[in-house]
Structure 1
Amino acid sequence: MTIAAPEMPRTIPARSALLATGAVLAAMASVNLARHVWSDATWLGPVAALVLLAFARWSGLTWAQLGLHRDRLRSGARWGFGAAALVALVYLAGVLLPLTRPAFLDARYHLGVSGALLTAFVVIPLGTVVFEEIAFRSVLWGMLARHATTMRVLLISSALFGLWHILPSLNIATANAGIGDLVGGTGSAAQVIVIAAIVVFTAGGGIVAGELRRRSGSVLASAGMHWATNSLGVLFGLVAWRMVA
């Protein structure tokens, strides 16, 4: 029986690797802006993710370096399921406690059952999770690993993940009455506070997601946590809206 040789990374000049990393960052910034400008761009995430993956493979990154090797899928699934279960428990407590319940009352997701299910299982996975995980914990991670230690890759990718959420957080104080009340309204100062808090919070989330990816060797682990954080927020928000109706 012939055993297939392991996939070996292709070495490229340092300057070419740096240019490839810059190209990925520019592409990610363009996608972020496009998603902010276009009201319905769910299709953009999967398409852009495929383009980034094709570019990463062309530039010499292996599936293992991208966190997508089939040998690590089982490990990624275990870590991802565990992280999702933990998020579910935290959200359950948040909805049940009157003090934290208003945080789930986001007007953007004041939906019926069918709308909430569609958002949680189609729109968010395709429009958000797929691209952001491929971009930050797969392609960018692999690119940065050519220049830096794992710890620096974790910190840099997480900081950029936090900054990525500046545009999506511009109107949260208005959409979420609980957050608006917490920061004292929807004025400019309140907006700055909310944006800064979300950048810090999502950067912290990026560290957790990156650590899941590092420990499991698979993007599937961080994707599980990412999906749970976003999609379960919508589903538990559905419950919260029913509780205050």
Structure 2
Amino acid sequence: MAENVGPGASSGEETIVNRRFGLLCIGVVAILIVVQILVFGPSIPDGGWSVSVGAVLILLIGKAVGLTWDDVGLSPRSMGRGLQYAAVIVGAIAVIAAVGVALPFTRELFHNDAYRDVGPALYSALILIPLRTVLAEELIFRGVLFGALRRTFTPRTALLTQAGLFGLWHVASSLGLSAHNQALGDTVGTGAWGTAAGVLLAVLVTGFAGIILGWLRIRSGSLLAPIALHWAVNGVGAIAAAIAWHLPS
């Protein structure tokens, strides 16, 4: 086991604690399924905020069950180290994006129809992406879920498990990937097999991203590091896309 209840804990006490955190993990998965239904169900006009609500609920349940702030990566002791990682990560990605947008032969790679205008791009980068995606997903997967898994299993098992669940979390959102991405659709097709290929690709890519984000969580000891990487890739990317549209090709 990765962690004992205490120096004098009996095997019975340890079994109860392990069971408690195991049930917490199952509860997190159940809440995520409900959130997916709310987000992608036709009866909810703007279910995207359900992810944020679900993240807060999961955190409250995790704290009630016995997770500490250190378990979820939000201990004041690790904030300084987390901020150092965050500054380096955001700075590095901002430099890469700036160079990519500045060079004419890579500028088109940043073109995204959703961010043609600066206003919507900034709103997405500073409001929607952080609140509805980054903070919520990191709190759920690298925070509560990883913390509960590490209470029962080794850090490696916890890392791989949360990454696998993070990949599966993107199944519903990737169902139309091959139909809406022309390059992917031309490669795998847009029928049933193309849809399955698009979903599999999305799960593998986001699962691998979950490993990197989880590694940052372990390495830094803070949730701030994976939050910074997750936001920088999406938020800086949105801003870079808006700038790219306003520069000559």
TM-score range, shorter chain: 0.7 to 0.9
Check conservation: 1:105, 1:241, Cα contact below 8 A: yes
> 1:101-141 deviations in whole A, cap 9, x for unaligned?
5554444x244111110011001111111210110001001
Q: Distance in 2 between matches of 1:187 and 1:204?
A: 26
Q: CA deviation at 1:42?
A: 4.2
Q: Distance in 2 between matches of 1:123 and 1:33?
A: 20
TM-score of the two chains, using structure 2 as the length reference: 0.82
1:76 equivalent among 54, 58, 82: 82
Query: Counterpart of 1:13 in 2: which secondary structure?
Result: helix
2:93 equivalent among 72, 76, 87: 87
Q: Distance in 2 between matches of 1:99 and 1:169?
A: 29
Q: Distance in 2 between matches of 1:233 and 1:180?
A: 23
Check conservation: 2:25, 2:145, Cα contact below 8 A: yes
Q: Distance in 2 between matches of 1:179 and 1:94?
A: 22
Q: Distance in 1 between matches of 2:104 and 2:67?
A: 48
Q: Distance in 2 between matches of 1:125 and 1:62?
A: 23
* Deviating more after overlay: 55-64 vs 15-24: 15-24
Match of 1:173?
A: 178
Q: Which amino acid aligns with 1:231?
A: G
Gap change, CA 1:22 and 1:158, over 3 Å in 2: same
Tell me whether 1:234 sits opposite 2:248 in the alignment. Answer: no
Query: Counterpart of 1:65 in 2: which secondary structure?
Result: coil
Q: Which amino acid aligns with 1:197?
A: L
The equivalences for 1:146-225 within 5 A come to 146-181=151-186, 183=187, 186-225=190-229
Match of 1:40?
A: 46
Gap change, CA 1:156 and 1:102, over 3 Å in 2: farther
Gap change, CA 1:102 and 1:29, over 3 Å in 2: farther
Structure 1 residue runs of 5 or longer lacking an equivalent are: 1-7
RMSD value over aligned CA atoms? 2.7
Check conservation: 1:120, 1:234, Cα contact below 8 A: yes
Match of 1:66?
A: 72
Q: CA deviation at 1:210?
A: 0.7
Q: CA deviation at 1:97?
A: 6.5
Tell me whether 1:140 sits opposite 2:145 in the alignment. Answer: yes
Q: CA deviation at 1:60?
A: 0.7
Gap change, CA 1:184 and 1:20, over 3 Å in 2: closer
> 1:74-104 deviations in whole A, cap 9, x for unaligned?
1111112222233334444555667765554
The equivalences for 1:1-80 within 5 A come to 12-37=16-41, 38-80=44-86
Gap change, CA 1:184 and 1:47, over 3 Å in 2: closer
Query: Counterpart of 2:151 in 1: which secondary structure?
Result: coil
Q: Distance in 1 between matches of 2:184 and 2:112?
A: 9
Aligned-residue sequence identity (percent) comes to 34
Q: Which amino acid aligns with 2:68?
A: T
1:129 equivalent among 117, 134, 139: 134
Q: Distance in 1 between matches of 2:243 and 2:181?
A: 15
Query: Counterpart of 1:146 in 2: which secondary structure?
Result: helix
Q: Which amino acid aligns with 1:137?
A: R
TM-score of the two chains, using structure 1 as the length reference: 0.83
